[in-house]
Amino acid sequence: GGGGTATRRQMRALLRRVVVASCPAAAASSAVRHAAVPLRRPAAPFGLARVSAARLSRREHGMSTIAALGTSAPLTGDAATAYDALTTRLRKLADLDAVEATLQWDELVMMPDGAAEARGRQKAALAELKHGEATSAEMGAAIAFAETSGAGEGCAWRAANIRDARRDYDDAVRVPASLKAREAELGARGYAAWHKSREANDFESFAPVLKELVALRKEFAAACADEGVKTYDYLLDQFERGMTTQRLSEIFGELRRSLAPVIKNVLEAPPIEQHPIFAPGAFPDAFPEEAQERFCRAVATRMGFCFDTGRFDTSVHPFTGGSGPFDVRITTRYDESNFMDAAMGVIHEVGHALYEQGLNKDQDGLPVARALSMGIHESQSLFWERYVGQSLEFWEANLPAFHENFPVAAEQGVTALDVYRFVNKATAGFIRVDADELTYSMHVVLRFELERALFENELDVDDLPRAWNEKMTELLGVTPETDAKGVLQDVHWSDGSFGYFPSYTLGAMYAAQFFRTAREELGESKFDDAIKSGDFSRVRNWLRDKIHAVGSVYPSADELCLAVTGSRLDPSVYVAFLEKKYKTLYGLE
């Protein structure tokens, strides 16, 4: 994240989504902003229409997504000159982004507290330098030359680089300086007001600043979005390119209708039996921090995290960072009273990291070598966390290492089934970041419906606490006792990150479709047997070939999903997975 003026910097913000979600201080200090990207609908790059038309036969034969894009036609003459000039400038800007990412990682992991003021000056100087490069007349001329020279013809990769360079440039130059200045000032003030209000459980003291933040985002949309684009469409598109309010309303509406009865039945069922070792405080010495770190590093290695181009550190709040496929850094935290906090967190972060390490290295520094969207990046972490890491097969594979590192668990006879039951228990709670797999999406649906109402002028800021509590009661059957456990629990709105929340559940739904397709193409029994044996290479290579290496060639996550699975995002796949899993787990079949 930096100044929020370019798509690439949004993608860097994605890699800190845990920090943004649960680390207010880090979010504020890094000045995460996402407000300056206008909505546009670029035409599909060369070859994508052909790819979509051939999707079913490609799935039947297991053809790679990269192969389906075709090979690059060589460039000559003006086209070659134009493209080389553009990529030189784009890679220089990417290098500045990489410097910023390294500073950000250092700030969150290594930097002494006393360096905060100096780091602020460094980041401000870097932001000014980056903005100058991103909005320079020379950059605009290089993009125009590449567009008119035909440099994108005959190659999906080049076409996508030119397409996204144009989008990023237009995004940057459309932002009025006055709005940028107000955004910076209001962001700092918003975080301070939110933090104070949450501590005091006093929404009324935060409401005036929140009203300013809502108004500011409306001004950004008016100044930066294409003509006729609605404000909330503009906000959604910042995080999930091509997503609209209407499309998301349809997706979440179906999710609401289909998943609500499943959640109700599971929550009303008798709880599944839990091994006593997982009861808080029952075995205080069972999961020492040093043993947790050994186990987590072993899991990361087995999943395929490359330590030659990656780091594994400890931080107050887990996140994934770095500066590209050659430098990917993950962190976690340890809680001796809750072993799964670190274990599942590392699986999640390694999922993000594998995406970054799997991006097309030949395109490094160019727009195509970055995450396609927030939802797609989240799909990769959730693929590993929920669909692999929360499976019985995964814990059968890792039970020997679990017993080796945690002898008390071995002595108490903990089985893979015990761990599986523990990581998949479902409960209705107030806090989104603590929610289980089954109920999490309802927390996101709630936030989406409130944001939509705010920006369609159907809900006033002052009425948010009431509306929040009513929806919590409706969706999950629980009513927050305080605003701190309700409308004030998330940091996102304090810096104006409206439209961010849907990416979490969109990622889970994309992951469900990718998981189903991977099992179909690799063979369901072979897929399950590979996980059970601890061989994750086939699954990892499938993801790398189909999703990671493709980067952002496709114009939207829906188009990538269509190319990989044969259909656009379909919430019924996600609901069917959860329904089957939890009915079996809770004996409701």
- Cβ distance 330 to 349 under 8 Å? yes
Residue 312 lies in a domain: yes
> Which of 150, 174, 198 is where one domain is finished?
174
Range of the domain at 384: 276-424+523-553
> How many structural domains compose the chain?
2
* Cα–Cα distance, 506 to 380 (Å, whole number): 11
- Are residues 533 and 406 part of one domain? yes
Query: Left (φ > 0), alpha (ψ -120 to 50) or beta: where does 154 sit?
Result: left
Residue 310 lies in a domain: yes
- Cβ distance 489 to 468 under 8 Å? no
How many C-beta atoms surround the C-beta of residue 458 within 10 A?
Answer: 12
Residue 465 lies in a domain: no
- Describe the strand order of the beta sheet including 327-332 as a list of residue ranges: 310-314, 327-332, 320-324
**Active site annotation includes 336:** no
Residue 62's nearest CA partner among 559, 546, 444, 456 is: 546
**How far is CA 356 from each of CA 11, 175, 307, 389, 563, rounded to the nearest angstrom?**
11, 29, 13, 19, 20
477: helix, strand or coil: coil
- Are residues 167 and 298 part of one domain? no
* Cα–Cα distance, 119 to 122 (Å, whole number): 5
* Cα–Cα distance, 169 to 90 (Å, whole number): 11
| Residue in the block written with tokens 């606490």 | 465
* Cα–Cα distance, 219 to 533 (Å, whole number): 55
Please enumerate in sequence order all residues whose Cβ is within 8 A of that of 243, keeping only pairs 6 or more positions apart, or say none: 236, 237, 375, 502, 506, 556, 557
pLDDT confidence of residue 305? 98
- Are residues 156 and 43 part of one domain? yes
Residue 575 lies in a domain: no
Q: Looking at the DSSP assignment, which residues form a beta bridge with residue 320?
A: 330
pLDDT confidence of residue 10? 43
* Cα–Cα distance, 368 to 167 (Å, whole number): 13
Q: What is the pTM of this model?
A: 0.88
- Are residues 286 and 163 part of one domain? no
pLDDT averaged per 10 residues in sequence order, the chain, 589 residues: 36 37 32 29 31 37 56 76 97 96 92 89 89 95 97 95 96 86 85 93 97 96 92 96 96 97 96 94 94 98 98 92 94 93 96 98 97 97 98 98 98 98 96 95 98 98 98 96 96 94 98 99 98 98 98 96 97 98 94
- Are residues 285 and 407 part of one domain? yes
Residue 11's nearest CA partner among 513, 359, 443 is: 359
- Cβ distance 198 to 211 under 8 Å? no
> Which of 149, 174, 199 is where one domain is finished?
174
* Cα–Cα distance, 542 to 129 (Å, whole number): 39
Residue 586 lies in a domain: no
Sign of CA dihedral 75, 80, 82, 85: positive
Catalytic residue among 100, 349, 451, 559: 349
pLDDT confidence of residue 116? 85
Token representation of residue 21: 């979600």
- Cβ distance 502 to 448 under 8 Å? yes
> Which of 124, 140, 174 is where one domain is finished?
174
**How far is CA 222 from each of CA 49, 184, 228, 230, 499, rounded to the nearest angstrom?**
32, 18, 9, 9, 16
- Are residues 285 and 151 part of one domain? no
**How far is CA 89 from each of CA 11, 125, 138, rounded to the nearest angstrom?**
19, 19, 9
First CA to last CA distance, the chain:
46
What one-character DSSP code corresponds to residue 434? Answer: G
Residue 484 lies in a domain: no
- Phi and psi (nearest 5°) for 262? -65, -45
Q: What is the 3-state secondary structure (H, E, C) of 243-300?
A: CCHHHHHHHHHHHHHHHHHHHHHHHHCCCCCCCHHHCCCCCCCCCCHHHHHHHHHHHH
- Are residues 293 and 149 part of one domain? no
Residue 60 lies in a domain: yes
- Rg of the chain over CA atoms, in angstroms? 23
282 sits in which H/E element: none
Q: Looking at the DSSP assignment, which residues form a beta bridge with residue 49?
A: none
Residue 170 lies in a domain: yes
Q: Looking at the DSSP assignment, which residues form a beta bridge with residue 322?
A: 328
- Phi and psi (nearest 5°) for 334? -120, 140
What one-character DSSP code corresponds to residue 316? Answer: S
- Are residues 156 and 14 part of one domain? yes
pLDDT confidence of residue 8? 37
- Are residues 144 and 23 part of one domain? yes
- Are residues 148 and 29 part of one domain? yes
